[in-house]
């Protein structure tokens, strides 16, 4: 009899542990919707950070690196809540449509997916006008890479081949509608040349296809392939940033090579529209402060993520400009893609 009750206890305690695990997984529930009254002591409770992508991805990496410093500045904890799906659209729809604008729920906002989601699919209803952009933290510039055994030694070799074989060169991107997809479209528009775009399911499979000579090139991001380029598995031909990267000073920018193209993927934080002014100010001040912290900057540097701080209205304008640009690109290619 004693033995039996012991087993029962074991089973019950096991269940309790599983429930605890689940609670942690769920994070804190959303704040109840209601009036956003002005609080002078913001933040006086934990802040939820919605993530539109699974744990372990690029957004999570930013959250893990930024979180500890941001918590110290804000004086309260940040709770990550992962709501992956529809390229972030489920989390962003929740942020804009179902979340109280009290400053206690933020989301990591990734461009260009934040805009291209609704530009490409009418089923996705939110727009950036329903957000209060707080701060952009990093911009990972686009980069053109080829396998180490590729015949393309320089960008010139590459472009010569594309010119000689229009529409034949296979180039991988991280997925239709992603940043690299648009980067290639922008490159085609800027150069007037055409390549054969092959979409993959993420940045990893995209560069791996190039490294394994399954495709002839990959358009991806610096942070993604930095260690591979450094180790010599991939060769970088051009980088789509304003100026050369400190990490790879030998790689020329597209601008130097005569292509007017600056592209990449940015990750920052946004809140729902209409959060209290003091909350917005506190958040912006906190981001400005951590961007001066050498330890934080070192963390980003180690992860090969170039900092690109844009706060408040500057970030809002950046998003708006990008929206206009992506809309025009998408409208011009939409017809050809759908065929």
* Interaction site with other proteins (CB under 8 A): 4, 7-8, 10-11, 14-15, 17-19, 21-22, 24-27, 54-57, 60-61, 64-65, 81-87, 89-90, 93, 120-121, 123-124, 170, 175-177, 196, 198-201, 204-205, 208-209, 211-212, 214-215, 226-228, 230-231, 233, 299, 302-304, 337-338
Q: Shortest approach of other proteins to residue 77 CB, angstroms?
A: 12
- SS3 of residue 220 by DSSP: strand
Minimum distance of other proteins from residue 260's CB (angstroms)? 26
Distances, alpha carbon 331 to alpha carbons 17, 118, 120, 177, in Å = 52, 13, 9, 13
* Tokens describing residue 293: 């912290």
Beta strand 307-311 with 131-147: parallel, antiparallel or unpaired?
antiparallel
- Dmax over CA atoms of the chain, in Å, equals 84
Length of the chain: 339
Helix (H) or strand (E) holding 319: helix 312-338
| Of 164 and 231, CB closest to other proteins | 231
In the complex, least distance from residue 68 CB atom to other proteins, rounded to whole angstroms? 9
Q: How remote is the C-alpha of 237 from its chain's centroid?
A: 23
From 104, 176, 134, select the one nearest 338 (Cα to Cα): 176
List the beta strands (DSSP E) in the chain: 47-51, 78-82, 105-111, 131-147, 170-173, 196-199, 217-221, 234-240, 264-272, 307-311
What are the residues whose beta carbons fall under 8 Å from the beta carbon of 257, sequence distance 6 or more?
Answer: 155, 238
What distance lies between CA 68 and its chain's CA centroid?
19
What residues form DSSP beta bridges with 170? 196
Instruction: Report in angstroms how near the CB of residue 144 gets to other proteins at its nearest.
Output: 18
Of 296 and 318, CB closest to other proteins: 296
Alpha carbons within 13 angstroms on the beta-carbon side of residue 15 total 5
Nearer to other proteins, 91 or 284 (CB): 91
Within 10 A of 122 (CB to CB), how many other CB atoms are there? 7
Is the CB of 117 or the CB of 241 nearer to other proteins? 117
Q: Which is nearer to other proteins, 222 or 259 (CB)?
A: 222
Looking at beta carbons only, is 227 or 328 nearer to other proteins?
Answer: 227
At closest approach, how far in Å is the CB of 169 from other proteins?
Answer: 11
Least CB distance to other proteins at residue 99 (A): 14
Cβ at position 231, least distance to other proteins in Å: 4
In order of 35, 51, 165, 186, 265, the CA distances from 68 in angstroms are: 29, 16, 51, 37, 23
Comparing CB distances to other proteins, the nearer of 307 and 337 is 337
Nearer to other proteins, 116 or 270 (CB): 116
Number of C-beta neighbours around residue 304 at 10 A: 20
Nearer to other proteins, 216 or 253 (CB): 216
Shortest Å distance, C-beta 305 to other proteins: 10
Q: Whole-number minimum distance, CB 41 to other proteins, in Å?
A: 27
């Amino acid at each position: 009899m004693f033995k039996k009750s012991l087993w029962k206890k074991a089973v019950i305690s096991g269940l309790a542990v599983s429930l605890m695990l689940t609670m942690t997984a769920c994070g804190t529930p959303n704040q109840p919707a209601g009036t956003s009254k002005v609080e002078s002591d913001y933040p006086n409770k934990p802040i939820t950070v919605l993530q539109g992508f699974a744990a372990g991805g690029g957004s999570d990496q930013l959250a893990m690196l930024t979180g500890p410093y941001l918590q110290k500045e804000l004086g309260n904890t940040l709770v990550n809540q992962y709501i992956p799906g529809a390229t972030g659209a489920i989390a962003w729809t929740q942020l804009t449509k179902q979340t109280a604008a009290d400053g206690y729920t933020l989301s990591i906002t990734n461009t260009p997916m934040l805009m291209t989601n609704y530009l490409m699919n009418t089923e996705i209803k939110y727009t950036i006008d329903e957000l209060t952009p707080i701060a952009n933290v990093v911009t990972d510039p686009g980069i053109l890479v080829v396998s180490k055994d590729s015949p393309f030694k320089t960008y010139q070799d590459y472009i010569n081949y594309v010119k000689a074989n229009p529409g034949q060169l296979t180039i991988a991107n991280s997925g239709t509608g992603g940043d690299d997809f648009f980067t290639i479209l922008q490159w085609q528009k800027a150069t007037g040349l055409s390549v054969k775009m092959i979409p993959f399911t993420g940045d990893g499979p995209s560069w791996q296809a190039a490294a394994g000579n399954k495709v002839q090139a990959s358009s991806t991001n610096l942070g993604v392939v930095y260690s591979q380029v450094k180790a010599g598995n991939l060769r970088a031909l051009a980088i789509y940033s304003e100026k050369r990267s400190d990490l790879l000073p030998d790689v020329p920018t597209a601008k130097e090579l005569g292509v007017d193209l600056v592209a990449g993927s940015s990750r920052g934080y946004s809140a729902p529209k209409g959060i209290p002014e003091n909350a917005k100010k506190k958040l912006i001040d906190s981001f400005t402060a951590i961007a001066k912290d050498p330890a934080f900057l070192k963390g980003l540097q180690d992860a090969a993520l170039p900092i690109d701080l844009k706060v408040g209205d500057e970030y809002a304008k950046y998003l708006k400009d990008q929206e206009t640009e992506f809309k025009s690109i998408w409208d011009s290619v939409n017809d050809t893609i759908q065929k």
